[in-house]
């Protein structure tokens, strides 16, 4: 049943959005075509912004992998992560999500390239990446803009949420594709 | 910190490469992956351009406001310290609605505005209020339902069906947000993080700084307020 819902979403969620938004907009008398084209330009900026991060991280990680150091790290982490059904390869990215979105994206790209997007690792990493924002960045920006330095339990709560999303990603991915 | 991490990665890679004899591979990794990154971004551009266009249409058609209407009743429960008609609540709701639609760039200005408005309800200058912590936790747990960047990266990497992770992402992100809310509510009760205790500790240490921009607001929920000067207020 759960898997059926997931499959349904995979097939219909985006087509629904692609249908519903323009139709809703045209009813609201929005100049859909013109607005679309105008907003689409931002897509180029996003892609251009991502490239330096991606290049930097992919090269760094690629080197790390090629030297054999990554195997060593994974070897150390595996006994622990295997207990919960998480491939140890995901852990660096899982942790990095809390610190730097750009770096985490780079790590995701590396995993997708090396293991393929349809592998368990590729899928789990994708789910993990898509389910959380960069905790420390958010804290820095949002509290920084009002000068609040004593953030109380914000960091712990944020990190707990990050951990929950990583475990949830592992769990759900294993249910469907494990 | 990223600086140290990246330099560490590269340094360890080269040193390890020399010891394991894989140094040739390490070198070709630089060239191969630099090219890889361009290939990936090229694969991304199309879908990002399409999605941003679609999202701009959503924005222009007032969809964000519509979603905000749904979100508001929940928000008044999560932010009991914020009066229902205070501009902070409006900004919070718009920020979350924009995030739900995946409009990160639209969400951030609302988020900053929300924090600034929440600060006017803050009697201290630099201590986070309960509302601020809750807002931040929800934000950082991500409420985005369709995470286009991840989907685009999967598509660019050649996934058979890039969107097969949409359902799981929604599940995981809901779980993380629920965890965030529960964590904030529970942790906020702990002695070390309870707002009144933090304020008292600061006052005792002589480091309590009052907020010159604090604005009294009519209709603040009638309950024992946070006391700045040690007296219990009604």
Question: So what's the pLDDT on residue B231?
Answer: 55
CA distance A156 to B209: 24
Q: Is the CB of A39 less than 8 angstroms away from the CB of B128?
A: no
By the CB < 8 Å criterion, does B180 face chain A?
yes
pLDDT average, residue stretch B121-126 = 84
Measured in whole angstroms, how far is the alpha carbon of residue B189 from the centre of its chain? 22
The residue in chain B having the minimum alpha-carbon distance to the alpha carbon of residue A22 is B57
Bridge partners of residue B127, in order along the sequence = A150
A165 closest CB neighbour out of B34, B162, B173: B173
Q: What pTM does this model have?
A: 0.80
CA distance A79 to B202: 45
CA distance B113 to A144: 12
* Residue of A7, A45, A46, A55 best to disrupt the B interface, most CBs of B under 10 A: A46
Asked whether residue B141 is domain-assigned, the answer is: yes
Question: So what's the pLDDT on residue B234?
Answer: 42
Residues B193-214 have pLDDT tens digits of: 877 777 788 777 877 777 777 7
CA distance B165 to A94: 16
CA atoms within 13 A on the CB side of A28: 17
Asked whether residue B124 is domain-assigned, the answer is: yes
Question: So what's the pLDDT on residue A125?
Answer: 94
| C-beta contacts of B131-135 below 8 A and 24+ residues apart | B131/B79, B131/B81, B131/B82, B131/B88, B132/A142, B132/A143, B132/A148, B132/A154, B133/A151, B133/A152, B133/A153, B133/A154, B133/A157, B133/B184, B133/B188, B134/B78, B134/B79, B134/B181, B134/B184, B135/A142, B135/B79, B135/B92, B135/B111
CA distance B140 to A85: 25
Look up tokens 């009697």; give the residue. Answer: B123
Q: Can you give the residue range of the structural domain that contains B108?
A: 41-187
Q: Is the CB of A153 less than 8 angstroms away from the CB of B188?
A: yes
Question: So what's the pLDDT on residue A98?
Answer: 86
Domain count for chain B:
1
Q: How confident is the model at residue B179 (pLDDT cuts 50, 70, 90)?
A: very high
Asked whether residue B48 is domain-assigned, the answer is: yes
CA distance B67 to A86: 35
Query: Closest approach of chain A CAs to the CA of B90, in angstroms?
Result: 17
Asked whether residue B214 is domain-assigned, the answer is: no
pLDDT average, residue stretch B6-17 = 89
Q: Give yes or no for residue B232 having a pLDDT over 60.
A: no
* Residue of B63, B165, B180 best to disrupt the A interface, most CBs of A under 10 A: B165
Residues B83-112 have pLDDT tens digits of: 877 888 888 888 888 888 777 777 888 888
Measured in whole angstroms, how far is the alpha carbon of residue A150 from the centre of its chain? 28
Residues B34-63 have pLDDT tens digits of: 998 888 888 778 887 888 888 888 888 888
CB atoms within 10 A of CB A158: 30
CA distance B63 to B66: 5
By the CB < 8 Å criterion, does B226 face chain A?
no
Q: What is the pLDDT along chain A (178 residues), one digit of tens a residue?
A: 777 887 888 788 888 888 999 999 999 999 999 999 988 887 788 778 778 878 888 888 888 888 888 888 888 888 888 888 888 888 888 888 888 888 888 899 999 988 999 999 999 999 999 999 888 888 888 888 888 888 888 889 999 999 999 999 999 999 888 7
Q: How confident is the model at residue B1 (pLDDT cuts 50, 70, 90)?
A: low
Asked whether residue B29 is domain-assigned, the answer is: no
Judged by DSSP in three states, A150 sits in strand
CA distance B5 to A53: 14
> C-alpha distances in angstroms, A130 versus A105, B41, B84, B140?
10, 18, 32, 12
Which of B135, B18, B149 lies closest to B71, judged by CA? B135
CA distance B92 to B7: 39
DSSP class per residue in B183-223: HHHHHTTSTTT-HHHHHHHHHHHT---B-TT----TT--SS
Q: Give yes or no for residue B156 having a pLDDT over 70.
A: yes
Mean pLDDT of chain B: 83
Q: Is the CB of B157 less than 8 angstroms away from the CB of A59?
A: no
Measured in whole angstroms, how far is the alpha carbon of residue A124 from the centre of its chain? 10
Query: Closest approach of chain B CAs to the CA of A6, in angstroms?
Result: 5
Which of B12, B14, B101 lies closest to B55, judged by CA? B101
Q: Which residue has the higher pLDDT, B146 or A34?
A: A34
CA distance B178 to B184: 10
């Amino acid at each position: 049943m759960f898997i059926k819902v997931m499959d349904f979403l995979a097939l219909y969620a985006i087509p629904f959005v692609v249908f519903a938004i323009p139709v809703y907009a045209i009813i609201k008398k929005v100049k859909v075509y013109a607005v679309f084209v105008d907003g689409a330009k931002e897509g180029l900026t996003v892609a251009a912004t991502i490239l330096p991060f991606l290049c930097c991280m992919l090269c760094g990680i690629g080197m790390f992998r090629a030297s054999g150091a990554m195997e060593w790290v994974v070897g150390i982490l595996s006994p622990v992560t295997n207990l919960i059904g998480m491939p140890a390869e995901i852990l660096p990215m899982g942790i990095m999500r809390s610190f730097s979105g750009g770096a985490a994206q780079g790590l995701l790209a590396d995993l997708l390239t090396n293991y393929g997007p349809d592998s368990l690792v590729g899928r789990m990493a994708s789910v993990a990446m898509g389910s959380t924002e960069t905790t420390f960045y958010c804290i820095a920006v949002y509290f920084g803009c009002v000068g609040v330095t004593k953030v109380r339990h914000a960091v712990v709560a944020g990190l707990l949420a990050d951990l929950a999303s990583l475990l949830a990603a592992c769990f759900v991915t294993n249910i469907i594709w494990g | 910190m990223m600086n140290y991490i990246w330099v560490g990665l590269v340094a360890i890679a080269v040193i390890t490469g020399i010891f394991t004899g894989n140094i040739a591979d390490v070198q070709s990794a630089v060239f191969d992956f630099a090219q890889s990154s361009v290939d990936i971004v090229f694969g991304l551009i199309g879908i990002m351009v399409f999605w941003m266009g679609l999202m701009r249409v959503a924005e222009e058609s007032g969809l964000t406001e519509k979603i905000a209407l749904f979100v508001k009743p929940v928000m008044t429960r999560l932010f009991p310290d914020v009066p229902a008609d205070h501009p902070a609540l409006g900004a919070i709701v718009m920020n979350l609605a924009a995030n739900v639609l995946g409009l990160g760039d639209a969400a951030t200005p609302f988020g900053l505005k929300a924090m600034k408005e929440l600060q006017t309800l803050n009697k201290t200058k630099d201590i986070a209020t309960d509302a601020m912590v809750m807002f931040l936790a929800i934000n950082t747990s991500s409420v985005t339902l369709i995470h286009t960047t991840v989907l685009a990266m999967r598509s660019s990497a050649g996934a058979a069906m890039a969107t097969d992770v949409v359902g799981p992402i929604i599940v995981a992100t809901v779980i993380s947000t629920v965890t965030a809310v529960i964590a904030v509510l529970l942790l906020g009760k702990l002695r070390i993080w309870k707002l009144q205790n933090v304020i008292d500790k600061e006052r005792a240490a002589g480091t309590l700084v009052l907020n010159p921009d604090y604005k009294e607001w009519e209709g603040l929920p009638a309950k024992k307020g946070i006391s700045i000067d040690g007296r219990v207020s009604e």
